[in-house]
Amino acid sequence: MAISIKSSREIELMRESCRLLSIVHKEMEEAIRPGMSTMEIDMLGEKTIRKLGCIPNFKNYNGYPASICVSVNDEVVHGIPSKQRILQEGDIVSLDAGLIYKGYHSDAARTHAVGEISPEAKKLIEVTRQSFFEGIKMAKAGNYLHDISNAIDAYISQFGYGIVRELVGHGIGTKLHEDPQIPNFAQMRRGPKLRAGMTLAVEPMINMGRADVEWLDDDWTVVTEDGSLSAHYENTILITEDEPEILTLY
């Protein structure tokens, strides 16, 4: 399928969808504290999305049972919120959220510290975040999609971390997942040419140990096979002739 190019009207709607999502992330980040259940984060996220007049796009997506993905420590992504799962001082928690505003989707993820965390965990979170910024330095009209993938891989490789291969970034717009798929590891081919008006969710998922992941019996939660910590950082961006616009930053 072709990669959609958004009109200026659609870009305005994407900007607003993403701006509202950045507010949801800010609310959740400020609420995080030891003793909180992952379900409470989901409830706060969903309440904020609805208060803003939007719809949580993850809810019921392929049967996903919540609005926010809350993934703790060795959970990579798609952690299902639970009343029983209580955040502890020293944990890291990845929050992945999205919403629909006037038919347009936004998607973003961040990994946060719960209280004081180890220097190693801090570094993993920071390097994962930075790999997104290294990747999108290449995200401009005329470059190729896999320039982004290759830049993320080149940056992460210096640290010896594992780049998750089973899950990738994606185009986004009137659907949560549009073409193209955006791998976070080096590619043989250059991929499609980037054009102004493409909106993309770039989302490196990085493990402190090996890259391998497995799925839990709930059919959603992805965990590292070796039990090492994992971090996630995602924004929805707009491709332009120059620097990309990062639409989901607060």
Q: CA 194, CA 109: separation in Å to the nearest integer?
A: 23
Query: Least distance in Å: CB of 76 to ligand MF3?
Result: 11
Furthest CA-CA distance within the chain: 49
Least CB distance to ligand MF3 at residue 55 (A)? 12
* Among ligand MF3, Co ion, none, residue 64 binds (CB under 5-8 Å by kind): ligand MF3
Collect all residues with Cβ–Cβ distance below 8 Å to 133 and sequence separation of at least 6.
Answer: none
Q: What does the block give as tokens for 78? A: 């798609």
**Residue closer to ligand MF3, measured from CB, 201 or 229:** 201
> Closest CB to ligand MF3 among 123 and 129?
129
Taking the least distance from each CB to Co ion, the nearer of 112 and 232 is 232
Exposed, middle or buried by CB within 10 Å (0-12, 13-18, 19+), for 237? buried
* Contacted by 58, from ligand MF3, Co ion, none: CB < 5 to 8 Å by type: ligand MF3
- DSSP code of residue 159: T
Is 147 an interacting residue with respect to Co ion (CB under 5 A)?
A: no
* 5-to-78, 111, 179, 195, 210 alpha-carbon distances in Å: 28, 30, 11, 8, 36
Give the separation between CA 180 and CA 32, rounded to whole angstroms: 33
Cβ nearer to ligand MF3, comparing 78 with 112: 78
Query: Is 178 a residue that touches Co ion (CB under 5 A)?
Result: no
Binding footprint of ligand MF3 on the chain (CB under 6 A): 58, 61-62, 64, 69, 78, 96, 98, 107, 201
Q: Rounded to the nearest whole angstrom, what is the least distance from the CB of residue 31 to ligand MF3 in the complex?
A: 20
- Is 201 near Co ion (CB under 5 A)? yes
What's the min distance (Å) between Cβ of 85 and Co ion?
22
Min dist CB 109 to Co ion, Å, is 7
User: Tokens 């590619």 identify what position?
Assistant: 187
- Helix (H, G, I), strand (E, B), or coil: what is residue 13? helix
Total residues contacting Co ion (rule CB under 5 A)?
3
Residue 107 as a binder of Co ion (CB under 5 A): the answer is yes
224/236 with CB nearer ligand MF3 = 236
Minimum Å gap between C-beta 75 and ligand MF3 is 13
Q: Tell me the C-alpha distance between 7 and 73, whole Å.
A: 40
Tokens at 194, concatenated: 């980037």
- Helix ranges (DSSP H) in 98-227: 119-136, 145-157
- Sites of contact with Co ion (CB under 5 A): 107, 201, 203
